[in-house]
């Protein structure tokens, strides 16, 4: 039986692919868009599939409530919520301004928390539901220059872990998907750098090395976002999914390093990678 699924951030990237894959699997998909007028690419990809574009700026409290209310009014239920909308922010932490950090956390942390809160009464009343939060490998390991982004994903991971335990006896599963590098707009037109990232000469060499590694990694390792979409669709139907699902290039190596190596060794690997980036 198909599920009713609400997915955020569906204009492009992971969200667009998730919406199409989920509908292809027989689910009714409400595809959240910050601007419903940007649904063209999504609708072309979906064709005749049951994908319903939905006006949903996840940072807008009224739109969050209206989105959940519409889904429940039209279908009578909400089986799954996929919190996919998010953004990144690059730059040394010292050079990030407070308004930038607050905006980042508003989208990456407070929005999924608030939207999940809005969805939970329906899921609890049903006695079943599933919340899938799209995190990142940066939610497990904070790299230099991506400290703000990693901090937001660490927060999402902690919140998800607590919610999983709070909701387990109420029939609601909470799951984390932790992608590595994939070909999405977060590496292209949505790539964001703090406005003062390059203002302090003390960080110039670090930024140069990191950006060289970053660009090279994306070029060599970034994979098709449909892999992540396919995983999310499998998780919608999984009987007893575990909490964390890392996926993508280098995630296995990074996970093993974090689990098996002492912190000093992990720091040494990061330092060595940055040094190689200077060549």
- 214 catalytic per annotation: no
For the residues of 218-240, what is the DSSP string, one character each?
A: HHHH-B-THHHHHHHHHHHH-SS
Instruction: Return the half-sphere exposure (C-beta side, CA atoms, 13 A cut-off) of residue 188.
Output: 9
Q: 198-228: buried (b, 16+ CB within 10 Å) or exposed (e) per residue? A: eeeeebeeebebbeebbeebbeeebeebbeb
* Helices and strands per DSSP (H, E), number in the chain: 10, 7
Q: Catalytic: which of 149, 182, 203, 214? A: 149
* Residue appearing with tokens 């969200």: 15
In whole angstroms, what is the distance from residue 180 CA to residue 15 CA?
Answer: 16
Positions annotated as catalytic residues are 149
């Amino acid at each position: 039986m198909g599920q009713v699924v609400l997915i955020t951030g569906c204009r492009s990237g992971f969200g667009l692919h998730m919406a199409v894959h989920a509908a292809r699997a027989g689910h009714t998909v409400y595809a959240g868009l910050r601007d419903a007028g940007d649904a063209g690419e999504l609708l072309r990809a979906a064709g005749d599939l049951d994908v319903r574009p939905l006006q949903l700026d996840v940072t807008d409290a009224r739109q969050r409530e209206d989105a959940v209310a519409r889904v429940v009014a039209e279908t009578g239920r909400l089986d799954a919520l996929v919190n996919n909308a998010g953004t990144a922010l690059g730059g040394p932490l010292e050079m990030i301004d407070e308004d930038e950090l607050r905006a980042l956390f508003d989208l990456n942390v407070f929005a999924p928390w608030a939207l999940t809160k809005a969805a939970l009464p329906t899921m609890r009343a049903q006695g079943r539901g599933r919340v899938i939060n799209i995190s990142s490998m940066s939610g497990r390991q904070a790299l230099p220059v991506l400290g703000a982004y990693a901090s937001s994903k660490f927060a999402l991971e902690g919140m998800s872990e607590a919610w999983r335990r709070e909701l387990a006896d109420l029939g609601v599963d909470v799951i984390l998907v932790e992608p590595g590098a994939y070909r999405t707009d977060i590496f292209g037109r949505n790539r964001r750098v703090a406005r003062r990232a390059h203002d302090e000469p003390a960080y110039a060499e670090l930024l140069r090395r990191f950006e060289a590694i970053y660009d090279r990694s994306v070029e060599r390792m970034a994979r098709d976002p449909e892999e992540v979409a396919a995983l999310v669709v499998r998780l919608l139907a999984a009987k007893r999914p575990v909490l964390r699902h890392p996926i993508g290039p280098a995630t296995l190596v990074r996970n093993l390093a974090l689990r098996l190596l002492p912190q000093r060794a992990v720091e040494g690997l990061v330092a060595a990678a940055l040094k190689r980036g200077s060549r």
